[in-house]
Chains A and B, each alone.
Chain A
């Protein structure tokens, strides 16, 4: 016999005795903890074959929290401007456990981008962008974009040669935009080339401007998730109500979320310990760029598309076509909730799914292609 949900656990805490329970009652009386727990117990999460993908939003959030914590610790010792390199050298080699904090920050940044990509594609293929979750999709895309800007702005801050030249190359992407590209690149750089002024700008962007935009948007995104709940994949939605399964958010889903966070922490700590983030030689703007210089992996696809179009169509035409294609795909990706609106499977639903496969394959393919050509 199909079971629709588990029996809801009783709120036993209030009836418990002992010092712990007394302390809980004291706090509960003032903050209403029991009300929050009761709400969490009543909130349910769908349980099906694809439930695994529900945890990736939480994993992204976990890495963001790690970023905040490790970023604040780095902020204590980091000095932007002409001393940037020296301060990162001190963090990495002189200050006790500075290497760990820096490695954690750098690895968590990469893992966060990866987790958000996984989260985005799982949302896409589960059709979780459909009514009434359109704003969840758009706010999520905005968060991904901001995360990538976080990554880009943070990458320059050590000012070693790799960061310097990778930033120079990375800024070729906005610079290749028609008409306004050069102006935007000059504003971001603070001049015609990457310099200490660029570090000051990137630093302000990284630790002040972006968090000010990111945090409210993140809360908005999470509020939407809370408001609309977790979307079910179409195959699950097609089932009769009685055959759908759910589990309580608390403690069942929450405890598994904790399990997933622990795995994420383990992966992060393992990478930081086994492959600590290196610091290259100080950037020398007049030296030739090291061989095989390239942007971070999450910009590699865009970089490669621009590079390939520049090769196929020499001159400005290549840049315009490359950036045009990239912008078009991004636009279509963003407006997918307005195209695939029906809850049942149909022509548009199938087209959207194929578009998702195309984007995923294109992203992976061009990234591999980019690394292949280095």
Chain B
């Protein structure tokens, strides 16, 4: 157990968050979009007196309740655990600023879960109009939970000048609303709402695929085609909203994308551009595949195709979320806290007084280890400042990234990261390396051992 440094081999702590979050994002967005799908479909069925639609919607609400109420809720708690372990400083900052926001979100969440259960269990037991109203209560509260959490998520990319002006003074809560309705809040809210709507259609196709197209061809064709229409708004409006979103992103972050686009031809383009490209491409593929397999062959649309569309949606979600995360580099909270939990305002202090003695996490670990033998200071530096984004062997591995470098070369690189010059190529996506010279030397020793194991090169005199 490496707590307070969470050392997850191969995939890294970020990988754990990603695995949980990608599924959670997909399910939670379905929970919101599906919240609109169900009452709208029910209203249509009631209007047209379609018993067969009502039967299908009841089945869909069962699938909906289990998936969102169980998996969605559990994975949400999983995110809390993993972000708290992976980046306690950033999690602490968010809690301190938004505890009131989260309290509001949980109120909506409780109403949402309750309404979902009531909606499912009262099919055919209460008047149709009342049942429909419960559906709308669910839809509203589910969407409101997005309205709240979106403020916290977008804050991490663009906290805004007002909040940054008071950050670290203890007066942060006075800038709550400015931080909440930050520059990327509105475009992000519209984008996520559109994603919710399209995911509602995609998940509805899963239920529609289970209808026997040969026994009930009319019902299956109608429901499959009605569900595919839910993909249209997002695919029409997404490009415009995406440009709106980019327009609100700080110039420095936009440069990451621009740099990537400009260097596609050379193949050296940034990871954020790669992910964004795959996201756009996969989204377009979803639309085309749904057209070919669902719209054109509604009666034969089976579970295999529904699973294929779901997997594509999972791919689109994963790459979109990865792009959003990468766009924030080198920060975890824009312009305030670097991705390794070091605040911008602390850099000078750590360089002057030392990182290992100044960082509460490193100090706690150092004192715990001070029993039998002196702790490896280089390993502590690595855990404190590198582990948030790197591993030794797996994800973004040191062994590959530093391959071919001897200790002197590793030290040169660490020097560049420490100096953090305006023209440094690493400045766009990596935090500065902080600490006193002897701590950086200790990190170089450690990395040399990791990379050149068995062929340890002597320390340069």
Contact = CB atoms under 8 A, between A and B. Distances in A.
Interface of A: 2-3, 6, 47, 51-52, 92-93, 96-100, 245, 247, 251-252, 255-256, 258-259, 262-263, 265-266, 269-270, 273-274, 276
Contact of A256 (B274, B275, B292): B292
A269 B292 CA distance: 20
Nearest to B283: A266
B281 A269 contact: yes
Contacts of A47: 300
Interface stretch (B45-53, B186-194, B236-244, B304-312): B304-312
Contacts of A100: 267
Contacts, number: 72
Contacts of B345: none
Given A52-B302, A258-B292, A270-B319, 5 more contacts: A97-B267, A100-B267, A256-B293, A269-B281, A273-B277
B200 to A, nearest CB: 21
A273 B297 contact: no
A255 B267 contact: no
A266 B308 CA distance: 12
B84 to A, nearest CB: 29
Contacts of B78: none
B281 A263 contact: no
Interface in B85-135: none
| Residues of A contacting B: mostly | helix
B73 interface: no
Contact of B297 (A52, A255, A270): A255
Interface in B142-157: none
A263 B307 CA distance: 12
A259 B292 contact: yes
A96 B275 CA distance: 20
B67 to A, nearest CB: 23
Contacts of A93: 266-267
B297 A252 contact: yes
Interface in B266-300: 266-267, 274-275, 277-278, 281-282, 285, 288-289, 292-293, 296-297, 299-300
A270 B292 CA distance: 21
Contacts of B289: 259, 262-263
A1 B289 CA distance: 30
Contacts of A266: 281-282, 285, 312, 315
Contacts of A255: 292-293, 296-297
B267 A98 contact: yes
Contact of B304 (A52, A262, A270, A276): A52
A263 B297 contact: no
Which 3 residue pairs spanning A and B have beta carbons closest together?
A99-B267, A259-B292, A96-B265
Contacts of B3: none
Contacts of A2: 214
B228 to A, nearest CB: 13
